[in-house]
Chains A and B, each alone.
Chain A
């Protein structure tokens, strides 16, 4: 019998039950009818009884025990139809429940299926296929279109579009070229790459994400712990209740029916299904949520504290505007790019990056560059002397800045850094650089307000002026400036006192203590930043601040779902109880309603999985 699959058994029993029901209605309790009912009960009920007995050996009284007692009781009093119906319903219920449960877990499973299973490496010029476990750091991987990347690495050769949705939740493929970082578990949609592995096996970002998600699923919510403790005493209590009912009423039908309807199936499953569906739904949207407790806490957040640099802003300076006097912007930028060729200053990086964006890539380097500490650089190019730097550099050299003064003042007013470019006689241009706000930052703050978050607060180490400008642009409720990391922790505590539950959103650089102190620590774009991934309760993958709104929405949806499920489970049990006491609810009806309630609870939880499709707003 063991060789028959669950599905086959369900079909066999279903057929037997239907036949016996027809016989029961036509020729009533004929020996043949009874025989078929008994066979059916034995097939469906055997495993239940076996499980109940083995559990009893370890002194555990579970649902199996309740059902077994009820069925044996029914057989003793000659209710063969009831026995057959109850075992059949329990069996089919169990089967359908595990099928639907699979669905609530499916989005997590699909994530795990993304783990690469082979890797093509080039060793001494020869390509060979290895299992990802055998990869070593420094090996050279060859990856073709459609293939999954088996290690984290840096592109040595080639260009490709890569689907990074497993890491970032972002479905649009990203272009990668030489020198860029690629991640294990992502897929090349077109192109061809030669990659040097920098992280392999369990150390890859993808493996770490998988591990976190796996752990998260079974990190229990407080509500769940409560229900588990409750059900440990509940089942034995029901047996006692049933016994007492029998002793008082001498009604064995009622006593047996009580056992069946009191099964806590729907109640005990109510929380874990909602949680696992919420974690799966979050993961699909590029959000790692570390367990049920985090979901409950996240749904209750009252105030959100944002770190400025790297969270509300992109975290790296970039060119925001260009002013060229008497030449084209491109020519000006070319001079600046060449002038900065040797520099590793963040401002220089921003200028070179802007050049690359506009197609200005040159191998030319400045002649006789002379660096003036804290001011800038003087260099020669094509026989002309150029100066590149701040106001002080030009003042020191007595160069007239009249042409640019208005633009300089405007940029400074906007809190941008102005890099001035000039010859030894006059100013020829100005490049304004700033750590740009994330495009979605304003919308995120607005959505949080809509969600009823009472205060959005910004923390920054910057001066009051800069902080004020950003807070004003984003319409933040409050801001704290000139904060050191330890001050940020204090500020979080202060908010907790004022508003209760506080979420801190940071990039994990310098703010791990605040992530740990807040009720919910949320790290943005922490892929590759292990400390942040470990400290934070929620990780927004792929640098998407917009996911914050999704994370809170999903957590609230999950908590609502959990409450619906708990309420529904208790209401069904209570209704059935009244039904039994008033009469009219038989064993098989009780079992049917009970199994249906479990199924409905699971199906309700699968609604959380459809979150992404129902999103009413779009954020970049």
Chain B
């Protein structure tokens, strides 16, 4: 399991945050996603055997939100 924090483009409504969060929850290989509205960030764990960073990014971009940076937490 890898733990990452992603900085997204500014989220302008809390429902967008809720939407991204439930989409990630339903994505295979992603665990405990948490979308932070005020800081426009996503925290999550993912299993590198099932999905990679790009895969996570594409779930979010398909919903219409760009990701600016990804940082791994040790």
C-alpha spacing A51/B11, complex, angstroms: 13
A232/B38 in contact, CB under 8 A: no
- CB neighbours (8 Å) of A101 from chain B are 10, 12
Please tell me the number of chain A residues within 8 Å of chain B, measured between CB atoms.
Answer: 30
Assess whether A179 is interfacial by the CB under 8 Å rule: no
**Which residues in window 32-67 of A have CB below 8 A to B?**
47, 50-51, 54-55, 58-60, 62-63
- CB neighbours (8 Å) of A272 from chain B are 14, 37-38
Minimum C-beta distance from B20 to chain A (A): 9
Minimum C-beta distance from B67 to chain A (A): 15
C-alpha spacing A63/B38, complex, angstroms: 19
Minimum C-beta distance from B52 to chain A (A): 20
A268/B13 in contact, CB under 8 A: yes
**Which residues in window 31-74 of B have CB below 8 A to A?**
36-39, 41, 62-64
A105/B12 in contact, CB under 8 A: no
**Which residues in window 10-32 of B have CB below 8 A to A?**
10, 12-16, 18-19, 22-23, 26
**Per a CB cutoff under 8 Å, which of A50, A60, A97, A264 touches B12?**
A97
B23/A269 in contact, CB under 8 A: no
- CB neighbours (8 Å) of B16 from chain A are 62
Assess whether A73 is interfacial by the CB under 8 Å rule: no
- CB neighbours (8 Å) of A425 from chain B are none
Minimum C-beta distance from B3 to chain A (A): 15
B18/A232 in contact, CB under 8 A: yes
**Per a CB cutoff under 8 Å, which of A47, A59, A268 touches B64?**
A47
The listed residue with most A CB atoms (<10 A of its CB), out of B12, B23, B41, is B12
A269/B14 in contact, CB under 8 A: yes
A50/B64 in contact, CB under 8 A: yes
C-alpha spacing A102/B39, complex, angstroms: 10
**Per a CB cutoff under 8 Å, which of B18, B19, B38, B41 touches A276?**
B38
A218/B13 in contact, CB under 8 A: no
Minimum C-beta distance from A58 to chain B (A): 4
With A217-B38, A218-B37, A275-B38 known to touch, is A55 a contact of B23 (CB < 8 Å)?
Answer: yes
C-alpha spacing A275/B14, complex, angstroms: 13
Minimum C-beta distance from A260 to chain B (A): 15
With A54-B63, A58-B23, A60-B19 known to touch, is A97 a contact of B36 (CB < 8 Å)?
Answer: no
A218/B39 in contact, CB under 8 A: yes
A231/B15 in contact, CB under 8 A: yes
A55/B19 in contact, CB under 8 A: yes
**Which residues in window 76-113 of A have CB below 8 A to B?**
94, 97-98, 101-102, 105
A-B contact pairs, 13 of them (CB 8 A): A59-B26, A60-B22, A60-B23, A94-B13, A105-B39, A217-B39, A218-B37, A218-B38, A231-B14, A268-B13, A269-B14, A275-B38, A276-B38
Ranked nearest first, the 8 interchain pairs of A and B with the lowest CB-CB distance are A218-B36, A98-B12, A217-B38, A51-B64, A58-B23, A276-B38, A268-B14, A54-B62
Q: Give residues in B with beta carbon < 8 Å to A.
A: 10, 12-16, 18-19, 22-23, 26, 36-39, 41, 62-64
Q: Give residues in A with beta carbon < 8 Å to B.
A: 47, 50-51, 54-55, 58-60, 62-63, 94, 97-98, 101-102, 105, 214, 217-218, 228, 231-232, 235, 264-265, 268-269, 272, 275-276
Extra inter-chain contacts (4) besides given A54-B23, A62-B15, A268-B13, CB under 8 Å: A58-B26, A59-B26, A217-B36, A264-B15
